[in-house]
Amino acid sequence: MIHISDLHLTDLSTVRPQKIRGKRRLGHFSWRGRRRYRHLPAHLEALRRAVLDAQPDFIVVTGDLVHIGLPSELAVAANWLAALAPPGKMLVTPGNHDLYAEDSWAACEGHLGDYLHLSPSSGEAGEAPFRRGFPSHVSLQLGAERHTADAKGTTDRPLGCLQAFHESVDGIELYGLNTGCPTPLGAASGRLGSGQRHRLERLMKQAPAGALKVVALHHAPMRGVMPGRKALIDADALEALLADAHLVLHGHGHWSRSYRCGAAQIFAVGSASTADAAFRQFDFHPQEGTVQVRMGLHVRAVDGDGFGLGEEAAFSVSTGR
């Protein structure tokens, strides 16, 4: 499984500031003055090639595909995703730049819907349209492939692929949250809302015994990780739910860090389109009652397009089987 985030892949050079209003005009000014020099297509293309070379079983994209949430931007983002992997091998969770304005959600759902994996019956009366259908829920089921062992008990290849889970656990239950929402000028905060939190709690409690539970979202899930204007407003309420999760993946900060929330291991990854672009790769090795997780953080070389291993970690997750 590979995790990428904060692609900011679109070019706003053909967007006329006179045609946009409010926060979008300020965002366009930010792009012209700074972001277009930081988020470069060449960096993103190098990362795309590296991800394809890794041949992942599944890809998680935790938001901010675009800059100011224009429908034309989201159409470009959909084409980029399609060139990377089909919807059956990818989950996208929206970021604050994807839902930049009130009209962004309709375009996001229209262009990226297959990659969002929305739950059609999920929603409450009065709930904002962009929160209905979340959490998305993807079950990475077990394949038919088996790993034969030789006389010494070693396998013919590593148990790093998702199909290997049929030996010891029920698979991966992946939950995608939407923390993005239109915000006032100067704010890049996020919010889940009570309905989405309650549905996440219910879904995780319904997970099969032995499943590895992974939560993906854009904003940092804990208070104090980001400054107030960029924080998840209801992070306190989410923290209590993460006690039932095993791994949490997020972006938003444009940095790669790892930390813990109770028993859950949290991994943030940096932007996919900056000079120090990065992606995380997770390999899973099931054992009796646990899953051994190997994480590698791959970072773009400063003097070239290649990616090198910048950090690695190995840890054990108890799945309660």
Q: What does the H/E/C string look like for the chain? A: CEEECCCCCCCCCCCCHHHCCHHHHHHHHHHHHHHHHHCCHHHHHHHHHHHHHHCCCCEEECCCCCCCCCHHHHHHHHHHHHHHCCHHHEEECCCCCCCCCCCHHHHHHHHHHHHHCCCCCCCCCCCCCCCCCCCEEEEECCCCCCCCECCCCCECCCCCCHHHHHHCCCCEEEEECCCCCCCCCCCCCECCCHHHHHHHHHHHHCCCCCCEEEEECCCCCCCCCCCHHHCECCHHHHHHHHHHCCEEEECCCCCCCEEEECCEEEEECCCCCCCCCEEEEEEEEEECCEEEEEEEEEEECCCCCCEEEEEEEEEEEECCC
Q: Would you say domain 2-275 falls under CATH 1.10.10.10?
A: no
pLDDT for the residue 167: 39
pLDDT of residue 216: 98
Q: Give residue limits of the domains in the chain.
A: 2-275
pLDDT for 218: 98
pLDDT value at residue 159? 34
Residue 319 has what pLDDT? 86
Per-residue pLDDT of the chain (321 residues; tens, 9 = 90+): 999 999 999 999 999 999 999 999 999 999 999 999 999 999 999 999 999 999 999 999 999 999 999 999 999 999 999 999 999 999 999 999 999 999 999 999 999 999 999 998 778 888 999 999 999 999 996 333 333 333 333 333 333 444 433 334 458 999 999 999 999 999 999 999 999 999 999 999 999 988 999 999 999 999 999 999 999 999 999 999 999 999 999 999 999 999 999 889 999 999 999 999 999 999 998 877 789 999 999 999 877 779 999 999 999 999 875
Predicted structure pTM score: 0.91
